[in-house]
Structures are given as structure tokens and as C-alpha cells.
Amino acid sequence: MNVQNQGNFLEILKLLASYNEQVDTFVLDNAPQNAKYTSHQIQKEIMCVFARNVQSLIRHEIGDARFCLIVDKTQDESRREQMALVVRFVDRSGFIRE
């Protein structure tokens, strides 16, 4: 059995399809030949939509509360830079959220 990683986007899409029958019906091998939507350009566009949705949800959740940003950077074993970004704030109920 030859298992090869096809990239994060396609691997996540496969994982999602394995858990959701509706998604599995329309993606990857089951997608119409001219509508696979897996090119790099489409992947970037989809990720931009996800990013805007996440940003919008974070802004809505924080509202007018005070917040701080925590940023940490390190190298992993392969010497690639990894950065973590955390938004910390107090929600409307008075609980600290990250």
C-alpha cells in the first residue's frame, strides 16, 4: 500500500469527507471531472474565505472588550519557523477566553 501525503488541503478534505457523507458525495474522486476545485488558486481562495469568517467570529465574540495578543515563535525539528498567535480577552460573562 503506497500512502503519500498530497498536501494539507487535500488531506483535510479527505478527512472531512470520511466523516461527512454529503461532503464525500461531491469531492475529490466523486466530483464531476471539470469541478474538482482543488487547484492552488481555488485552495487559496477557500482559505481566504475561511480566514475572513474566523476573523469575523473573533471580532464579534470580543466585541468592545479589552484584549491582548500573545505571540511566540520557535523552530521545529526540521528548523522551520513556527509561530503561535493567541488573542486573550474577558468575555461578557467575565471569563477569560483565549
Name 97's bridge partners: 89
C-alpha dihedral (8, 14, 18, 21), degrees to nearest 10: 130
Rounded to two decimals, the pTM is: 0.57
- Is-contact 69 57, C-beta < 8 A? no
pLDDT of residue 71: 92
| Residue range 27-76, pLDDT digits in tens | 777 777 777 677 788 888 888 888 899 889 888 888 888 889 999 998 87
CA 96 to chain centre: 23
Higher-scoring residue by pLDDT: 69, 23: 69
Supply 42's cell numbers: 481555488
